[in-house]
Chains A and B, each alone.
Chain A
Amino acid sequence: MTWTGLFPHTQAMSDEDLLRRWQAGDRAAGQAFFQALYPVVVRFLRNKVADDVRDDLVQQTFMAAAQADFGGRSSVRTWLLGIAWRHLASHFRSAGRLQAREVELGTLSVAELGRGPESQAAWRQEERLLLEGLRSIPVHAQVALELHYWEGMTAAEIAAVTDTPVGTIKTRLRDGRLALERALSRLAASPDALQSTLDDLQGWARRVREAWATPG
């Protein structure tokens, strides 16, 4: 979605111009920057955390961007996603979901990290399948694949976002894609497997328990 026409004087500006003007105190430029890059940040976060956490992380990312130094070593988008990545990693750690050890972000999937996106009701079966597949591979691979396919980023750009050597990213893209194919074929080969993933009966029982444990 776009919001063109709302701030005419900012239309011709690049992301970087908008950011610099925002950091200099131009609120209109800041809003234009936010509107331009909001979808990028949301797309990055939406399949990794629950809805309410996502909104907080989006806000934190932009608040940090307003004050952070943009060195110009990469594109604004890469730089901004790097901020989002650090907030996401920090969230996973501070939420006690895992110890602050990189290796675990590499081996645990978002599904295992206890994420629970709630806005997926709208997604068509095929997209659901893919998103489920992405969620079931290690976080680092998921991030690399999503940035590559959704933001069109190169391995070098992804390396900049996650502060990782390029070679590692290339490995993650290759391994992640294989892992995703395996996951998808497992889910797709058996409708039951997909259904069981979606239905997640234990999760269902837990949610029922939670519904009982709290009023309303």
Chain B
Amino acid sequence: MSDLDERLAAAGRLEDSLDERQRQARIQARLFGEAPPVYIDRYRVGDRLGAGAMGTVFAAHDERLDRAVAVKVLRERGDSAAARMLREARALARLSHPHVVTVHEVGQDGDRTFIVMEFVPGTTLAEWQRGRPWRAVLEAYLAAGRGLAAVHAAGLVHRDFKPSNVLVGEDGRVRVADFGLVRAADAVEAGPAPVDPGQRLTASGALVGTPAYMAPEQLRGQSADKISDLFAFSASLYEALAGVRPFVAPEVEAVLARMEAGPPPLPRPVPAGVADAIARGLAHDPARRWASLEALLAALEHGARRRAPWLVPALARGVIAGLAAWSLRTAPTPATPTAPALPAALRQRPDLAARVLALRAPADAAWRQAALEVLGGPVTEQVLRPARGPVSDLQWLGPDDWLLRFMDGTAERWTAGASSPWPGPTLAAACRPTPEAPALPASFVPGSQAGALACAAEGLVDLGPTAATLYPFAGPLRPLGALPAGGHLLTPDGRDILTRVDSGEVLRQTIGSAEPPAPLAGLAGVQRMAAGGAVVAFAQADGHILTWQAGGRPRRVARMDHPAGGLLVSPSGQWLLAWVDGFVRVWDLEVGGEPMQLPGSWRLGVGSFDASGRWLVLVSADSKATLWNLQTEVAHPLVGHSGIVASARFSGGRLVTGGGDGEVRLWTLEGLDGELVGRHRRAIWAATLDPAGDHLATAGMDGVAWIWPLRGGAPVALIGHEKPVFSVHYSRNGARLATGSGDETARVWTSAGAPVATLPGHEGWAYGLDFSPDGRWLATGSRTGVIRLWPAAGGAGRILGDHGGPDRPRRVHTVAFSPDGAWLASAAKSGEVRLWPMAGGPPRLLPPHAGNGHLLYLPDGTLLTLGADADVRQLTTDGGRVLRTLHHPAAVGGVAASADGRWLATSVQGGDVFVWSLADAAAPPRRLGPHAGHAEFLAFDAPAARLLVGTSTGDLRLWRLDDGTSRPLPGHFGGVRFVGFDPAGVPLSAGNDGAVRRWPVDEDEATLRARLARATRVCPTADERAAWFTPAEAAQLGCAP
């Protein structure tokens, strides 16, 4: 036989592995219904539990000790590999930790290594975490993380941490498992990155480890260490909280690119602190991740505790006590500490379960939901269950009286009643539609008792004939006689009935008039009508949209490419909304001009404006209700309905929504969000208050600067720059302001907006402006680091010098005069800080920072310098001496001093803000945060009682410095570029979304407490009442039966 023949014959040898024996036994069992038992050592092997790249896990029975175990049989990897694995498995066997699967024994069977572990009945974390509240998920991961940390402490690296490698026992205990890949940490860390394919790839080519959770260095085939484990842990936790993996892309290269860009933000309600901690765990550069798993776990715990700090613990306790009644009939707390018990039926309905948990369990979930609703969006004030089917329309007639239309099986019914008693009687037969007379348009006259209800059937219109017993209308009820067939509309003034007939004409008949109906001129092919205020709107088949007011002629508003499918006019008559071709457009009829187009897809015909014209509620194509603030253009989802939202309407001064399940919710909108002061067409890059604090000047990327008077009056546009305006500064007396632009000029303006001077010749741009204290000079910095001094009244400037060195980024970030006017300080991107003596002479070089130099003169004349390092230095006015260095845990990004000079706020990369006492150098700083994104912009209010923080992601947060609580001010899209307070102490902000906003927040704790109590007071359904409460308990719930 040739060599090849021998080798070929030898290759016919079959593997004798447990896995192979198991497979044969399994096929035999399938063929014959039974199979001989398979043993490995003394363990009788049962079902295969799973297989990974490194081996296969079987359920097994220890015949000697008579206990269930799990046996993992490792794949053969050569003698040295087997020996190493054996050594490492034995290290694991010595490790005993409640959150690590116990290894009983490591043994050899033939040339196979097997590991005997405790058998954990239960599920994997991957299964368990689905649909759980974030807090329960986080708890489980904290436990798993402690187990993984114990593995690290034993000198081992897991290398394949992922949710499916963590077991959650039926006892609720979380255990890290699957150590097939575990290796001694030193073996991995020693030497250069190993490219042994046996480590990266198994012989069959499978990756060692799981790519979806792998750290970038692992994906690139480099060594995996504890910090790679930390990444995998963070990726797993991210997925558990977000529902999606942090870095998803079809190609490895694209995944790596996304890793470099960083993970997308975690959705609410995950606290920012938790999200930030995870984000750092996912840093592309291992050196930027947490130094250890313990550090990450501590940050996660800290972040979770800091949820909703505005609501002080006393308030939380009050609410939880108030909620205690809701838990009376829930099942006893099960063994699983992180999984509240749910009725069996609810386990099938995670959506409903989430709501019940959120609203009824006296645990963190309820607290979170309540806080979310109170602080972040509209709050449910009351829940009613008046109907059996989807509520398709509803009206509020008075403070307590209501009327609604719902589907009862296939029949449509109206019902009317009052909040109490409940439910009310079904409306009388005359207003119930029949198959022969299906249409029932009901119109109401706002603010009028006369003719409050019109019912139409078979062309007849009666004004409240039968509802009169329920609603005593003033005035006689008059039958109108026959109307033309078609769609009817009661005009807003209650005087006319408009009928749209099949020909597309609109016929008008005055109520009480003997005249026959007459066509309204100027209309043709009308398909839709709507009324509001004094305005009636029409949509024609040719795409025209027109409005009409009594006494006038129809007027064109717009012509669309497609005819509008529906129209809506606000009760004020100000807003006209049209559903056109799948989009919603809103016109401001008072102002005119182009319509707003609301992003998203909205259900045709379902929507409502409130009486003030400030709010619009719409229902999306997927049946979720959203509330729009038409002034600020902020959208708030209405969180509360368990299923679809079938109808939504402002009525009787309230927002009311009807669910597909017959549930009706009333919402309170008080204190919902800020006011829009004004808007740039593009992002706002910088803003500043004038010295008196009653004007705000903003610099826009649209090339315009605006002055916004905060005490009333019209804003003034500063027009002249040809490129984006980057900076804006007031003179000390407020009489002048200067702007700097990418058009290489700086400009000086009067405080009324009149141009004074144009100062040309800056290289790249004029940035970092400041007026001298006496107002005579303006200092500027350019992109190439040149510092210039200009007469503020105009004229030729002179060059003071520049931030030298061709090889360093010299662009000037800040220039500032000392309060005594003797020095001009400038800071450059290189981190270099210079002091230029105004009396002449060479500049003084101050201790540099690592980059991104920034500086600030404090009210007492001392100078603060900072940069991309962790130190903030306080120096004497002339920069000659460092008075104090404030050390931070990370690079400093923002700084602000209180007006009285007693406090200094600084922010560091990662979102934390520190408040330092400038009076007491020994006092440690207070830490506020974390925030979502970098908290670059900070401002104290005048008494230094509150601190406003704006971040690069649009997070705006108002901190109270007395108790360290905060509340979010939601509304900015994109980064915040300015924060401040107006003279009345009202927070102000401006940002990348181009908006200048004002935030009147005057709620005291009692108001918040009341709102929170309302938010959490939800009436159970009849079924829930029956299932969960005794009659006596139900009577105590404070809900109508």
Residues of chain A touching chain B, judged by Cβ–Cβ distance below 8 Å, are 1, 3, 6, 27, 30-31, 34-35, 38-39, 42-43, 46, 51, 55, 58-59, 62-63, 66, 116-123, 126-128, 130-131, 134, 145-146, 149-151, 177, 180-181, 184, 195, 198-200, 203-205, 207-209, 211-213, 215-216
CB nearest neighbor in B for A34: B28
Please tell me if the beta carbons of A122 and B76 are within 8 angstroms of each other in the complex: yes
* Contact flag A212-B12 (CB < 8 Å), given A55-B26, A59-B27, A59-B30: no
Complexed CA–CA distance, A199 and B202 (Å): 9
**The residue from B8, B126, B197 contacting A145, defined by CB atoms under 8 A apart:** B8
Complexed CA–CA distance, A134 and B250 (Å): 32
Please tell me if the beta carbons of B31 and A43 are within 8 angstroms of each other in the complex: no
Contacts of A204 in B (CB 8 A): 201, 205, 207
Contacts of B28 in A (CB 8 A): 31, 34-35, 38
Contacts A31-B32, A212-B245 supplied; 8 other A-B pairs, CB < 8 Å: A38-B28, A62-B27, A126-B7, A127-B10, A131-B11, A207-B207, A209-B251, A212-B248
Interface locus among B16-24, B413-421, B713-721, B935-943: B16-24
* Contact flag A43-B204 (CB < 8 Å), given A62-B27, A212-B249: no
Contacts of B26 in A (CB 8 A): 55
* Contact flag A146-B12 (CB < 8 Å), given A130-B7, A198-B197, A211-B207: yes
Is B804 an interface residue when CB atoms closer than 8 A count as contact?
Answer: no
Please tell me if the beta carbons of A184 and B203 are within 8 angstroms of each other in the complex: no
Contacts of A27 in B (CB 8 A): 32
Contacts of B211 in A (CB 8 A): 207-208, 211-212
A-B contact pairs, 16 of them (CB 8 A): A1-B16, A38-B24, A55-B23, A59-B31, A121-B75, A128-B203, A130-B11, A149-B8, A150-B8, A150-B9, A180-B4, A200-B205, A204-B201, A207-B207, A208-B207, A213-B250
Residues of chain B touching chain A, judged by Cβ–Cβ distance below 8 Å, are 4-5, 7-17, 19-21, 23-24, 26-28, 30-32, 34, 36, 53, 75-77, 126, 162-164, 197, 201-207, 210-212, 219, 245, 248-252, 255
Please tell me if the beta carbons of B77 and A177 are within 8 angstroms of each other in the complex: no
Contacts of A215 in B (CB 8 A): 126
**The residue from A46, A177, A180, A211 contacting B212, defined by CB atoms under 8 A apart:** A211
Complexed CA–CA distance, A209 and B30 (Å): 34
* Contact flag A199-B245 (CB < 8 Å), given A58-B27, A184-B4, A212-B255: no
Contacts of A212 in B (CB 8 A): 211-212, 245, 248-250, 255
A59, A131, A181, most chain B CB atoms within 10 A: A59
Complexed CA–CA distance, A118 and B207 (Å): 12
Contacts of B53 in A (CB 8 A): 121
Please tell me if the beta carbons of B252 and A208 are within 8 angstroms of each other in the complex: yes
Please tell me if the beta carbons of A121 and B204 are within 8 angstroms of each other in the complex: yes
Complexed CA–CA distance, A128 and B198 (Å): 13
Contacts of B210 in A (CB 8 A): 211
Complexed CA–CA distance, A130 and B31 (Å): 33
Please tell me if the beta carbons of A199 and B205 are within 8 angstroms of each other in the complex: yes
Complexed CA–CA distance, A31 and B33 (Å): 10
Complexed CA–CA distance, A198 and B196 (Å): 13
Complexed CA–CA distance, A118 and B14 (Å): 14
Contacts of A6 in B (CB 8 A): 36
Complexed CA–CA distance, A210 and B250 (Å): 9
**The residue from A127, A151, A211, A216 contacting B11, defined by CB atoms under 8 A apart:** A127
Question: What is the distance, in angstroms, from A169's C-beta to the closest C-beta of chain B?
Answer: 16
Complexed CA–CA distance, A38 and B30 (Å): 14
Complexed CA–CA distance, A195 and B195 (Å): 12
* Contact flag A119-B8 (CB < 8 Å), given A35-B28, A62-B27: no
Question: What is the distance, in angstroms, from A63's C-beta to the closest C-beta of chain B?
Answer: 7
CB nearest neighbor in B for A122: B76
Contacts of B245 in A (CB 8 A): 212
Question: What is the distance, in angstroms, from A84's C-beta to the closest C-beta of chain B?
Answer: 13
**The residue from B4, B27, B75 contacting A55, defined by CB atoms under 8 A apart:** B27
Please tell me if the beta carbons of B205 and A207 are within 8 angstroms of each other in the complex: yes
Complexed CA–CA distance, A69 and B759 (Å): 103
Complexed CA–CA distance, A43 and B202 (Å): 22
Please tell me if the beta carbons of A205 and B32 are within 8 angstroms of each other in the complex: no
Complexed CA–CA distance, A184 and B8 (Å): 11
Question: What is the distance, in angstroms, from B1001's C-beta to the closest C-beta of chain A?
Answer: 43
Nearest 4 interchain pairs by C-beta: A150-B12, A121-B75, A149-B8, A130-B11
Please tell me if the beta carbons of A34 and B75 are within 8 angstroms of each other in the complex: no
Complexed CA–CA distance, A51 and B24 (Å): 12
Question: What is the distance, in angstroms, from A148's C-beta to the closest C-beta of chain B?
Answer: 8
* Contact flag A121-B11 (CB < 8 Å), given A31-B28, A200-B205, A212-B212: no
Complexed CA–CA distance, A27 and B53 (Å): 37
Contacts of B219 in A (CB 8 A): 208
Complexed CA–CA distance, A145 and B8 (Å): 9
Contacts of B164 in A (CB 8 A): 216
**The residue from A3, A43, A123 contacting B203, defined by CB atoms under 8 A apart:** A123
B4, B11, B16, B77, most chain A CB atoms within 10 A: B11
**The residue from A38, A121, A216 contacting B77, defined by CB atoms under 8 A apart:** A121
Question: What is the distance, in angstroms, from B946's C-beta to the closest C-beta of chain A?
Answer: 46
Question: What is the distance, in angstroms, from A85's C-beta to the closest C-beta of chain B?
Answer: 17
Please tell me if the beta carbons of B12 and A43 are within 8 angstroms of each other in the complex: yes
**The residue from B4, B32, B251 contacting A181, defined by CB atoms under 8 A apart:** B4
CB nearest neighbor in A for B75: A121
Contacts of B250 in A (CB 8 A): 209, 212-213
Please tell me if the beta carbons of B205 and A149 are within 8 angstroms of each other in the complex: no
Please tell me if the beta carbons of B248 and A120 are within 8 angstroms of each other in the complex: no
Contacts of A184 in B (CB 8 A): 4
**The residue from A62, A151, A216 contacting B31, defined by CB atoms under 8 A apart:** A62
Question: What is the distance, in angstroms, from B682's C-beta to the closest C-beta of chain A?
Answer: 37
Please tell me if the beta carbons of B248 and A1 are within 8 angstroms of each other in the complex: no
CB nearest neighbor in B for A146: B12
Complexed CA–CA distance, A130 and B11 (Å): 7
Contacts of A208 in B (CB 8 A): 207, 211, 219, 252
Question: What is the distance, in angstroms, from B240's C-beta to the closest C-beta of chain A?
Answer: 12
* Contact flag A195-B197 (CB < 8 Å), given A43-B12, A208-B211: yes
Complexed CA–CA distance, A213 and B249 (Å): 9
Contacts of A39 in B (CB 8 A): 14
Complexed CA–CA distance, A119 and B202 (Å): 10
Complexed CA–CA distance, A181 and B206 (Å): 27
Please tell me if the beta carbons of B205 and A198 are within 8 angstroms of each other in the complex: yes
Contacts of B75 in A (CB 8 A): 121-122
Question: What is the distance, in angstroms, from B216's C-beta to the closest C-beta of chain A?
Answer: 13
Contacts of B30 in A (CB 8 A): 59
Please tell me if the beta carbons of A199 and B19 are within 8 angstroms of each other in the complex: no
Question: What is the distance, in angstroms, from A116's C-beta to the closest C-beta of chain B?
Answer: 8
Complexed CA–CA distance, A180 and B162 (Å): 42
Complexed CA–CA distance, A213 and B245 (Å): 11
* Contact flag A3-B36 (CB < 8 Å), given A149-B8, A180-B4, A208-B211: yes
Question: What is the distance, in angstroms, from B278's C-beta to the closest C-beta of chain A?
Answer: 19
Contacts of A30 in B (CB 8 A): 31-32
Complexed CA–CA distance, A216 and B248 (Å): 13
Complexed CA–CA distance, A128 and B10 (Å): 11
B126, B212, B255, most chain A CB atoms within 10 A: B212
Complexed CA–CA distance, A116 and B249 (Å): 24
Please tell me if the beta carbons of A199 and B7 are within 8 angstroms of each other in the complex: no
Question: What is the distance, in angstroms, from B177's C-beta to the closest C-beta of chain A?
Answer: 14
Complexed CA–CA distance, A73 and B27 (Å): 28
Question: What is the distance, in angstroms, from B600's C-beta to the closest C-beta of chain A?
Answer: 28
Please tell me if the beta carbons of A121 and B76 are within 8 angstroms of each other in the complex: yes
Complexed CA–CA distance, A175 and B357 (Å): 71
Contacts of B201 in A (CB 8 A): 198-199, 204
Contacts of B252 in A (CB 8 A): 205, 208-209
Contacts of B19 in A (CB 8 A): 119
Please tell me if the beta carbons of B4 and A177 are within 8 angstroms of each other in the complex: yes
Complexed CA–CA distance, A117 and B203 (Å): 11
Contacts of A55 in B (CB 8 A): 23, 26-27
Contacts of A58 in B (CB 8 A): 27
* Contact flag A34-B32 (CB < 8 Å), given A200-B205, A204-B201: yes
